[in-house]
Amino acid sequence: MISTQRPLHGRQQGARKDRPETAAPKRIDSKALMAGHNLLMIEHMGSHYYLRMTRNNKLILTK
């Protein structure tokens, strides 16, 4: 069978061309990030975002 998919040549499919490739994203444990709280406010470029942990231990990010 012949594959019709083109090789990725070092880029992940869907990766943006204007961003440099990195080895791996920074990883942080959610327990360390939340530090025992269920709500965290994140400031990004003048806007505030809220990261909330639900009773089912799901994370929800809202603006």
Give the pLDDT of residue 5: 56
> Which class would CATH give 30-62?
mainly beta
Helix (H) or strand (E) holding 61: strand 59-62
DSSP letters for 14-47: T--TTS---SS-----HHHHHTT-SEEEEEETTE
Give the pLDDT of residue 15: 58
Give the pLDDT of residue 16: 64
Give the pLDDT of residue 10: 52
10-53 pLDDT, tens digit per residue, is 555 555 667 777 789 999 999 999 999 999 999 999 999 999 99
